């Protein structure tokens, strides 16, 4: 077992809820910048005032212990509403802004919110507004969530008047909700079996523990940072390190005002003296192109944290040449873990180029076999994690929670090994998952969408390596016998120009209507039947010559000395 080192405790016990953290920062740093979004810049005292006004307006709709869905783009409106909901003692269920109506409906059913705060421009935006207060007075057991359409102002506008108007906010005294550190703060999405949405429950105490451990791992536990947030705010990392973590440390959150472009990134770093950011591999690649880095003063930038998918060493080398004074820090984690587990500092990478680092302070990592016995250094097994940031469980999924939490240990479903110095190495995945542009995609979810089409009898989804997105999705389908074009010749999306191509293009459009863009297969191929294992399961590895490092059985491809006794399979691992 390896545990990250803890720093000596502070003289004063830090706040253990997010509302109390905001109050402390507003009291200690009232005129310091807290949030920048385009031309809007809020100091801590003004951020506190905006949060209080909106919270008071939401009081008739939201009670302590409720869940509130938040479906907004990266914006100041998102941050203010997020903090306002938490100040009422309710939990936030962030929804990706680009979800389709079908996906949004499934997510709402999974988390059961009393209120949906959404952008009218979202794909799944609804018309009208339900009267939740009337539903409650009538005692409705399964009332639909109230819907408040929150217009997100243009980045050129410098105030939140539209937000206050949408919520009916007015100045006045603050709310008086007593928030328990052990209460749920967020319900973060993670991929479920066969496409069923699943929500990870993280408490106030867990979010703060993860944020503080991350800052300590970068030697910044007592330093105020300016963090540039470029990924969607519903990401787990943003909910801890970049949102909660910055408010806890009295730091400054700068939101990317538009799509990610190297020139825009450089401008924001220079204008706001950004010290740290999180990027996914596709963004790192963009930063290696062009001469943007010569145009801007990037001297304030100390860390670029990256993760979410494997990053080619050549990309890191080229970026390191362009930004020699910026430390590139790799991380490993998963939503269930809070999400951070390890940090790989640049000075350690020289001797261990394939490691994802050591555990964060206060986080324990062990490698276990299928009998849950701890394995020694060098042996491959399932990565298990224990620490204050680990989830309390999956919302309303007690059986699934019991399968992945054992005696306080989280069974990650990932394969790995530890060396003698406690550095972690990833060896593969137990779960049938892809990571596209830094976002988890359940392959079963895509398969379920394909088989919902009446022409498809069976579907299998796989992944291919991609220089830009990390991984892209490909799919194989078996058509019903009476479907035109249901012959075994390969079918690919694109200009094939016959009945087969027409059916396949129809499938692509079918997926686009029901799935987020990153979940739509890049290529769809028709097969007469699927290769199968001795037990009748589809042999995914036989479908594609370009295999990625995902074990097809109990062993780990290319890992000498491993056997079924050492490595748990996908079913055994979660018992």
Q: What is the chain's pLDDT, residue by residue, as a tens digit (575 residues)?
A: 777 665 554 445 678 999 999 999 999 999 999 999 999 999 999 999 999 999 999 999 999 999 999 999 999 999 999 999 999 999 999 998 888 888 888 889 889 999 999 988 777 664 333 333 334 333 444 567 888 888 888 766 778 888 888 888 665 555 667 899 999 999 998 854 334 668 999 999 999 999 999 999 987 656 789 999 999 998 888 888 889 999 999 999 999 999 999 999 999 999 999 999 999 888 998 999 999 999 999 999 999 999 877 787 888 999 999 999 999 999 999 999 999 999 999 999 989 998 999 999 999 999 999 899 999 999 989 999 999 999 999 999 999 999 999 999 999 999 899 999 999 998 877 767 788 877 778 787 888 899 889 888 888 898 887 767 667 899 999 887 665 544 433 333 333 335 556 777 889 999 999 998 989 999 998 888 888 754 456 777 677 543 343 323 322 222 223 333 333 332 222 22
Q: Which residues contact 534 (CB under 8 A, 6 or more apart)?
A: none
DSSP assigned state of 238: I
For residues 238 and 90, give the distance between their C-alpha atoms in angstroms, rounded to a whole number.
19
What per-residue confidence (pLDDT) applies to 472? 85
What per-residue confidence (pLDDT) applies to 238? 83
For residues 471 and 96, give the distance between their C-alpha atoms in angstroms, rounded to a whole number.
20
What per-residue confidence (pLDDT) applies to 91? 97
Give the domain ranges of the chain: 15-26+40-220, 433-543
Class of domain 433-543: alpha beta
Query: What is the secondary structure of 159-204 as a DSSP string?
Result: --HHHHHHHT----PPP-PPPPTTSEEEEEEE--GGG--EEEEEEH
What per-residue confidence (pLDDT) applies to 15? 82
pTM of the model: 0.78
What per-residue confidence (pLDDT) applies to 125? 62
Kind of pairing between the strands at 409-418 and 424-429? antiparallel
Q: What is the dihedral of CA 16, 17, 23, 25, to 10 degrees?
A: 60
Contact criterion met (CB below 8 Å) for 489 and 500: yes
* CATH number for region 15-26+40-220: 3.40.50.12780
What per-residue confidence (pLDDT) applies to 398? 96
Kind of pairing between the strands at 433-436 and 439-442? antiparallel
């Amino acid at each position: 077992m390896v545990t990250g080192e803890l720093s000596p405790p502070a003289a004063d016990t830090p706040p253990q809820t997010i509302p109390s953290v905001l109050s402390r920062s507003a009291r200690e740093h009232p005129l310091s910048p807290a949030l920048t979004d385009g031309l809007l810049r809020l100091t801590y005292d003004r951020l506190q005032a905006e949060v209080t006004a909106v919270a008071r307006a939401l009081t008739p709709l939201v009670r302590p212990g409720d869940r509130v869905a938040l479906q907004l783009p990266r914006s100041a409106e998102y941050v203010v509403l997020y903090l306002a909901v938490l100040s009422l003692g309710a939990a936030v269920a962030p929804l990706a802004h680009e979800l389709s109506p079908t996906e949004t409906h499934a997510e709402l059913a999974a988390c059961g919110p009393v209120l949906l705060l959404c952008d009218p421009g979202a794909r799944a935006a609804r018309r009208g507004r339900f009267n939740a207060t009337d539903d409650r007075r009538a005692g409705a057991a399964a009332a639909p969530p109230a819907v408040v359409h929150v217009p997100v102002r243009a980045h050129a506008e410098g105030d939140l008047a539209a937000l206050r108007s949408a919520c009916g906010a007015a100045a006045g005294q603050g709310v008086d909700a007593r928030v328990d550190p052990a209460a749920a703060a967020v319900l973060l999405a993670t991929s479920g079996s066969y496409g069923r949405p699943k929500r990870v429950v993280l408490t106030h105490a867990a979010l703060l523990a993860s944020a503080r451990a991350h800052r300590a791992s970068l030697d910044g536990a007592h330093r105020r940072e300016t963090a540039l947030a470029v990924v969607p705010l519903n990401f787990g990392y943003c909910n801890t390190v970049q949102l909660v973590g910055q408010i806890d440390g009295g730091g400054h959150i700068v939101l990317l005002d538009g799509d990610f472009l190297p020139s825009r990134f450089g401008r924001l770093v220079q204008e706001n003296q950004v010290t740290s950011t999180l990027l996914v591999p596709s963004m790192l690649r963009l930063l290696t192109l062009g001469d943007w880095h010569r145009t801007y003063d990037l001297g304030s930038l100390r860390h670029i944290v990256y993760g979410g998918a494997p990053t080619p060493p050549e990309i890191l080398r080229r970026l390191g040449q362009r930004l020699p004074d910026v430390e590139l820090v790799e991380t490993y984690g998963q939503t269930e873990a809070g999400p951070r587990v390890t940090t790989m500092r640049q000075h350690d990478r020289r001797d261990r180029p394939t490691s994802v680092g050591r555990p964060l302070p206060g986080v324990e990592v062990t490698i276990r076999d299928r009998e849950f016995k701890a394995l020694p250094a060098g042996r491959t097994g399932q990565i298990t994690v224990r620490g204050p940031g680990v989830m309390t469980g999956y919302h309303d999924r007690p059986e699934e929670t019991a399968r992945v939490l054992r005696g306080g240990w989280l069974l990650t479903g990932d394969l790995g090994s530890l060396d003698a110095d406690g550095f972690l190495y990833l060896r593969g995945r137990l779960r049938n998952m892809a990571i596209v542009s830094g976002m988890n995609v359940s392959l079963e979810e895509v398969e379920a969408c394909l088989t919902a089409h009446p022409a498809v009898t069976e579907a299998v989804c796989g992944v291919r390596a991609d220089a830009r997105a990390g991984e892209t999705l490909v799919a194989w389908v078996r058509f019903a016998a009476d479907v035109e074009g249901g012959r075994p010749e390969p079918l690919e999306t694109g200009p094939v120009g016959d009945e087969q191509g027409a059916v396949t293009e129809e499938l692509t459009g079918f997926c686009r209507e029901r799935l987020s863009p990153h979940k739509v297969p890049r290529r769809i191929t028709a097969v007469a039947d699927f290769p199968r294992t001795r037990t009748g399961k589809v042999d995914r590895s036989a479908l594609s010559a370009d295999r990625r490092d995902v074990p097809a059985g109990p062993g780990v491809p290319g890992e000498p000395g491993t056997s079924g006794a050492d490595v748990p399979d996908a079913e055994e691992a979660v018992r």
